[in-house]
Structure 1
Amino acid sequence: MSKRDYYEVLEVTKTASFEEIKKAYRKKAIQHHPDKNPGDKEAEEKFKEAAEAYEVLSDQQKRQRYDQFGHAGVGGAASGGGFGGGMTMEDIFSHFGDIFGDIGGFGGFGGFGGSRSRGPRVRKGSDLRVKVKLTLAEVAKGVEKKIKVKKYVPCEECSGSGAAKDSKPITCDTCKGNGRVTRVQQTILGAMQTTSECPTCGGDGTVIKDKCPHCNGDGITKGEEVITINIPAGVMEGMQLSVSGKGNAARRGGVNGDLLVLIEEEPHPELIRDGNDLVYNLLLSVPTATLGDSIEVPTVDGKVKVTIAPGTQPGKVLRLRGKGLPSVNHYGTGDLLVNIGVYIPEHLSKEEKSMMEKLAESDNIKPNSSASKNFFSRIRNMFE
């Protein structure tokens, strides 16, 4: 099932400001919040869809990639899709709960919204970046790549908790497991209440008394993973795909970072890419350009024959429809443009020079007169 346009999901224009996007997301999230729509799977999916749209459009770099490449540029085709496919409701609230403020869980609704906005923070692992080189044939068809990535993974000894064996994190006494502390100060304007991250547990809500000796309490160790990346057809040099949740593991649990895949193209020996079009420079001999012929030219699918009409001029472009590359946004396929050039020999034998001098005297080859095919047939083989 194809994804809906993110601007359409939030019902904003493509020129919407960050504040407009934030306001639209807040409205959608309140409308489809699970506590307001208990047991309504459709509302839950719309809630996730709105969070996914906001996650992209609220980030300037991700928004630029989305505007240029669509869902493929932000992981929709590479990973199965952001929040809707890889993150839970808990993850959404941990990331965006603060957008609703302290309004008691979306204006009176309980559950995730109110508790997560004031609960312990959820850590996120750092993102990883890799480069993947593709041939033109792989770009044309799309490809599945398996790459081995060195990364931080959850500690096997403590299952990522950071606590030693037969031990476990305990609730922080300072914040009582909330991860945040509230202070009230008297000012000339009256009592001012501020809420900040707990200085004892760093916002985790728990502390570790006995650290795991294998990871020193971090809950992560160095490791590696073989990751499968589905690269859609039509990607281009410099494009960046995002594979959700395949980056570094977070310390002491939490949400994994993302794997950012930078696309590089290997040069093709004969074809030149120009957007979704391909360009091939075809060099003809003088006799071929004059008399015409059937010539093979390369494409990403193999060779095809093109007809060279008699009297073809240098600079003419033959367009082979649909022989280019597909659009990454499924907006059609480009063409193969065959640029015609004519090779003029730099060195001639005495016999060739004599024939060319005779040819120059003929009225039949002047620009405004018809060519003499009988004359060219006698010298054709000498130039090929």
Structure 2
Amino acid sequence: IADRLLRSMTENDVIARMEGDEFICFMTNAGSEEEVTERVRQLLSVFEEPFELNDIPVHVTMSIGVKLIHEDMRIHDAGLAVQQADYALSRVKELGKNGYLFFVPEMNDRPLERITLEHDMRKALTRGEFELYYQPQVDMSTCRIVGMEALVRWNHPERGLIPPGEFISLAEENGFIVALGTWIMEEACRQNKQWQDEGLERIPVSVNLSVRQFEMNNLTETVQEVLQRTGLEPQYLDLEITESMTMEVSRASQTLRKLKDMGVAISIDDFGTGYSSLHYLKNFPIHRLKIDRSFVRDLQQDPNDAAIVSAIIALGHNMNMQVIAEGVETKEQLVFLQNNQCDNIQGYYFSPPLPRSGFESLFRRYCNQEAMQCFVHK
């Protein structure tokens, strides 16, 4: 990336890597806005030709935020100029990436809290502020904990515990989700292996893949490296993807089959809420369907939701897939799912997501079938 950027710079320009996939360019003698626009377009054109990695063409897109400055700019304004260029960059990403925008004063209306959160988030990983919570998944026929989902929380030094709904979308937007997602996967695998080594029952841990992670050309290599570093056997890792990730059929099929060949299980999360084609169920190596909580929530009051849940369970079983319902919070929901032979259940009726120590205590307590039956029928 840097080599191509350097080729488009003049001898008086300055380019530096900020962090991750972000670079900053200082163009001297740029002249008018029209001249700057022309140079920015030249930058974008540099990435039209794919890179070659192991004889495989890899396409890279680029988003650019631009701030025009003047020769009389004071030195202490330089930081502000960089920040304003970053505002413009964020706006490009919001609009769909692979383009450019000049900073305009209206971009200052971006909420200060959001800007601060983004800044803090980039430092939180190295500071050890992220923590995984685990929510048990219960088998309806054996009444045992047969899996767990790893869910990230942020222990902010000033704001306290921040739920994922407040920062995951921002991390997706600015690209930080790739680093965060890799950390989540590795920490979940490491913890699962530790529990196994301590003699707890061997169960898989489910980890959500983001869109950006799934689009990475080296996803399978990343997963393989995580498993090697942690020592966790592949069958104890379950990667959850959403339906929309399968829209690019050929690419998705290749990635999923590589993961399956490694021994990793694949689940479709939030099933029924996304890309409404059943083609991928037939052609992709899907292990499990996860019924979205929006259907489970009202299935006792809404006959349409009840019909959808019943149909998803039947569809999954007819295609030799397991089916799990998430968001189970009431006895009535549980009974309905039992009567319709849903395989696994996850939700607050059994347990909320718990920090490491809390989940470990729960798991040790309910590792025998009799205790788990009492838990299910409380």
**Shared fold (TM-score, shorter chain, > 0.5):** no
TM-score scaled by length of structure 2: 0.20
Q: Point out the structure with max Rg over C-alpha.
A: 1
Whichever structure has more helix as a proportion of its residues is: 2
